[in-house]
Structures are given as C-alpha cells and as structure tokens.
Amino acid sequence: MDAFERELDLLARVAVEVGLGLQEGQELVITAPLEAAPLARRIAEHAYRAGSPLVTVLYEDEVLALLRFLHAPEASFDRAPAWLLSGMAEAFQQGAARLSIAGGDPHLLRGQDPSRVARASRARSVAYQRALELITTHHINWTIVAYPHPAWARAVFPQEPPEKAVEKLWRAIFKATRLDAPDPVAAWAEHNRGLQERVSYLNQKRYQALRFKGPGTDLWVGLADDHLWAGGPVRAKNGAVCNPNLPTEEVFTAPHKDRVEGYVRSTKPLSYQGSLITDIEVRFERGQIVEARAAQGEAVLQRILETDEGARRLGEVALVPHSSPIAQSGLLFYNTLFDENAASHIALGQAYSECIQGGSALGPEELAARGANRSLIHIDWMIGSDQVDVDGITASGQAEPLMRGGEWVWV
C-alpha cells in the first residue's frame, strides 16, 4: 500500500469512527461524486468492519448535471427526483447514518441561467425537506468529508499542472482534517475538548446578541430565546456521537429570526451549486434582508433570497478564529465545508433545533416562537477576518469583547 492509499484509508477510518460514530448494526447511506469512488469504497469497507449490515452509495455525475442545463426542456428545472429523496428520508427515519463526500467542480454552472439554477435548487430543496429535517434535528448521526476532485483542485491551484493541483489539494485536506497527527483520533478528541470549552463559556454568558464590526460591517445579531451554543461532537437521538463536519473549527448558535439589524460584507467568496458569488453586501431590518448585492453572481444571490420567506433571515451564526488551520493555510477552497471553518460566518435559512434548549422535542411553531428560523435552504457565508471584531451583548446591554482582530478574547 503506497502513501496515498494509506492516507486514504486513514481518512476513511476517521470518517467512520470520528465523523459518524457508526454504531454496530446501523446502515449507512453515502452520496459522492463519481471521482470520489476510491474514498467511498474505503469508507464502505470500514463501515462493514464496524458492523454495518448495508452500505448504499449514491454517485453524482457532474457531466450529467451539466447536460441537463444544456439540453433539458424548460420544465425540467422545476423537478427533482422526489422518489429518490423520499427514499433517503425513509432510510434516515429507520435509523440509517448519512455520509456526504464533498468536492465537486465549484465552477460547474458558471455561465448558466441563474433562474434555472435557482429553480432546480428549490425543487431539490422541496423534495429533500423531510430528509434535511431529520439531519438538522440530529435524528441520526451524519458527517461530511472531502475528496480532491480534479476540477476543484484546478480552482484552488489554477497555476499548477492538473496532477500537482490534485496532490496539493489532497495535502490541504489531509492537514485540515488532522490526519497528519501521530494519532488522528486522539487529535480530534483533544480538538473537540477545546471546542466544548468555548461552547460551555458562551452558554454560561447567555448573551442576548452579538455585534460584528469591521470594514463594510456593523451587524447586530440578536440570539434566539433559550438559545444554546454548539460545536464539535453531537449526540444524535439514536445515541451515536458524531462530528457532523470534518473539518470543523466553529462554535455556533441560532440567531433570532426577527432581531438582526445592520449591514454586513462577506470576507470570502461563496461557492454555491456551481456558481461563485463574491463581495456580498446585505442590509437587515427586523431580521430580514432588505437590500442585497454582489460583485459577481448577484442574480444567483437574488434567486436564493426568493426561495421562501425564511431565505432572507438567518438560521445560524458561528464564531471561528482567524488562527484556525484553514485560515492560516491562506487558501480559498471554493467549498463551504472548508471556507466556513476559516472565518466567522452566518447562514441564511434553516436553524438547527439543537441550538434551542429542548429543541429536539419542540414542533416547528414552538421553535419559531423562540426565534428559530425555518426555510428550505441553509447556506453559510463568511463575514469574519483579522479585521473584524465581535462583542457579546449582555442582557443589560453591556458590550463584552469576544473577538479582536478575528481572535478569541476571554473576559
């Protein structure tokens, strides 16, 4: 077994043990680009060795996805394979774990009609809603890992020959997921302890709001009533402990959907379903985006905001230090799994029920009454940098420094 095969096997092991916390007797559903088949097979092997009775892999072919936009009839873009996505929801309802392998071409749909992209995305979101709810409420254990797709590598390292670009992206993925440590499982346990310390601190403070200030940004994010901070490992309702994202550097909570005010500018581009959106600038009033523009991809952004009423409101706010390994790599990954862990960020759309006290036992109306947002989408975009400060606002209105120059300040 050569070095790459050993590293691939190690990533698969960490995905199953740390990412999923797969339980004996638990089925597993994997989605992956065709190019990621080597990793999918390794993960399946480790899952079977861990006692899974059945691993099902659903491969995604980007060539077919592009052919749809080039040749399909107009009515195509309002449809999605509901039968397939309903089947995934049924699998999750019955207890199957979920693993997504990320790493497609971030520029796949460049030049395609933004309205078609938005319609296709909305149709899929509607069909996937039940499955997404089971994931966001942690009905089951789930995780996301990455594989170095050649087109993705070219986007990150455009000056390198194709093979060299893939090799460099693999090295970056390997390092970001702590696989370069002598014992990656132990390294993840230590990292998770650090994230949990921050979670515990923020839950003790009970801030009523966060304020972000920096170039182009003065944003007040009111926090949901009975909000909880989260980060690192999660115990799913089936008892499994999983790390939903590999890598992860964030601690996050639920904003109040009606209590966001001010303006904010993105600090990194957003890669969204094959389109790149850069230099996003939005203004909030009473929780809702009332103005939005972008230097590139503005039409796609506007279509996202039209998805449903909740698409203009926030479902997540997350704090990430500028000293995170992903930020320090200096790379723009063109992939939210990585880029969101390089900077503090906000997410348009659906809130996580785990970020509300007792949220797993609450219905949609009860969650909304506490300020949790509901939407067909959940899209993270980055607003933090070494020029952005963050204050926690106490119940009495006092501002306490949380981050200065993008780094944690402990008060």
Number of structural domains in the chain: 2
Both 32 and 161 in one domain: the answer is yes
- Nearest Cα neighbor of 262 from 287, 280, 243, 237 is 287
Query: CA-based diameter of the chain, in Å?
Result: 61
Cβ atoms within 10 Å of 46's Cβ, excluding its own: 21
Both 208 and 161 in one domain: the answer is no
Q: Quick check: is 351 in a domain?
A: yes
Both 125 and 56 in one domain: the answer is yes
Q: Quick check: is 69 in a domain?
A: yes
Both 57 and 134 in one domain: the answer is yes
Cβ-contact 333, 326 below 8 angstroms: yes
Question: Rounded CA gap, 219 and 250, in Å?
Answer: 19
pLDDT in tens, 69-114: 999 999 999 999 999 999 999 999 999 999 999 988 888 888 889 8
Give the domain range for residue 379: 189-230+248-408
Cβ-contact 28, 54 below 8 angstroms: yes
Q: Quick check: is 240 in a domain?
A: no
Both 23 and 172 in one domain: the answer is yes
Q: Quick check: is 239 in a domain?
A: no
The residues, ordered by sequence, that sit 6+ positions from 32 with a Cβ below 8 Å of its Cβ are: 39, 40, 57, 58, 59, 60, 100, 101, 147
- Nearest Cα neighbor of 240 from 92, 138, 144 is 138
Cα 220 to Cα 210, 279, 283, 350, 398, distances in angstroms: 6, 20, 11, 19, 13
Residue where a domain terminates, one of 146, 176, 206: 176
Cα 279 to Cα 167, 214, 215, 226, 268, distances in angstroms: 29, 14, 12, 33, 7
Both 99 and 201 in one domain: the answer is no
Both 163 and 263 in one domain: the answer is no
pLDDT of the residue at 334: 87
pLDDT of the residue at 1: 62
- Which stretches of the chain drop beneath a pLDDT of 70? 1, 274, 411
CATH number of the domain encompassing residue 130: 3.40.1830.10
Cβ atoms within 10 Å of 65's Cβ, excluding its own: 16
Q: Quick check: is 243 in a domain?
A: no
Q: Quick check: is 361 in a domain?
A: yes
Both 59 and 93 in one domain: the answer is yes
Both 88 and 124 in one domain: the answer is yes
What interhelical angle do 184-205 and 3-14 show, nearest 10? 40
pLDDT of the residue at 17: 95
Both 21 and 133 in one domain: the answer is yes
Which three-class secondary structure string do you get for 335-388?
Answer: CHHHHCCCCCEEEEECCCHHHECCHHHCCHHHHHHCCCCCCCCEEEEECCCCCC
Q: Quick check: is 64 in a domain?
A: yes
pLDDT of the residue at 261: 98
Both 59 and 113 in one domain: the answer is yes
pLDDT in tens, 218-255: 999 999 999 999 999 989 989 999 999 999 999 999 99
Both 404 and 375 in one domain: the answer is yes
